[in-house]
Amino acid sequence: MNVEQRYRYLYKPVVFAACLTPAVLLAMGTIGVVLQSSGSGAAVVSALASLLGPDPVAKLLHSCGKTALNLLLITLLVTPVRQLTGYTHVVRLRRMLGLFAFFYAAMHFVIYIVLDRGMDWHSIVTDIAKRPYITIGFTALLILIPLAVTSTNKMMRRLGRRWQKLHRLIYVAAILGVWHYYWQVKRDVRLPVLYAFMLALLLGYRAVRQWQVKRRLTSKSGSATAPERI
């Protein structure tokens, strides 16, 4: 099996299944809760309902938000992995990871609107305006929307160089996502701080890499324009 075949028949399906697994488990738990609330006492139903714990809505919100954040950081990790290992095919997984990150972020917001707030739009607008962490999270979602819409090959060709500039906004979305998580947690902030540390490493790597490239280009330019020594 060559590299192309491994990507198509092994890596891509495995990554797709891994990204989809949280959604499947949450859907199974939701079905269990619905069936249990309708009076079903079957052991299978109870087992499914237990996937969401005693507070199903909070579990759904937290799981979707955390999965979105995980996938955002993994998406940002793709380029360093390619540069450090030389394995170029990993870049072809970045689009899938980014789209799944958007999917879970959107589901996080939909669950908040429909299940947590019962589609009470006045309450939702008030929450977004008055609670800083909700405002930040909503802003991160808005940033991800154009990135998801322009993720196709056709949009890449149409936007040209502007596509790369636009998709650098993923760093802003990741920063806002970590910030949203940190402000949402009221007491134990160890996990949000860990996410902030990992994001800082990724941003630091990008900054160092850009500095190295700029320095290399400046050095070459200086050598090309330097007067010839006799």
Tell which residue, 82, 93, 81, has the closest CA to residue 10. 93
Q: How many residues belong to the chain?
A: 230
Whole-angstrom CA distances from 214 to 41, 167, 211, 224 are 65, 21, 5, 15
Q: Give the model's pLDDT for residue 88.
A: 83
Q: Full-prediction pTM beyond 0.95?
A: no
Residue 34: phi, psi to the nearest 5?
A: -65, -45
140-197 confidence digits (pLDDT tens):
999 999 999 999 889 999 988 889 899 999 999 999 999 999 998 878 899 999 999 9
Q: Give the model's pLDDT for residue 39.
A: 80
Does residue 208 have a pLDDT over 60? yes
Q: For residue 131, what is the DSSP state?
A: -
Does residue 225 have a pLDDT over 80? no
Q: Give the model's pLDDT for residue 176.
A: 96
10-45 confidence digits (pLDDT tens):
889 999 999 999 999 999 999 999 998 888 778 888
60-119 confidence digits (pLDDT tens):
999 999 999 999 999 999 999 998 988 888 888 999 999 999 999 999 999 999 999 988
Could you state, in order of their start, the residue ranges of all structural domains in the chain?
1-53, 55-215
Tell which residue, 123, 115, 125, 92, has the closest CA to residue 10. 92
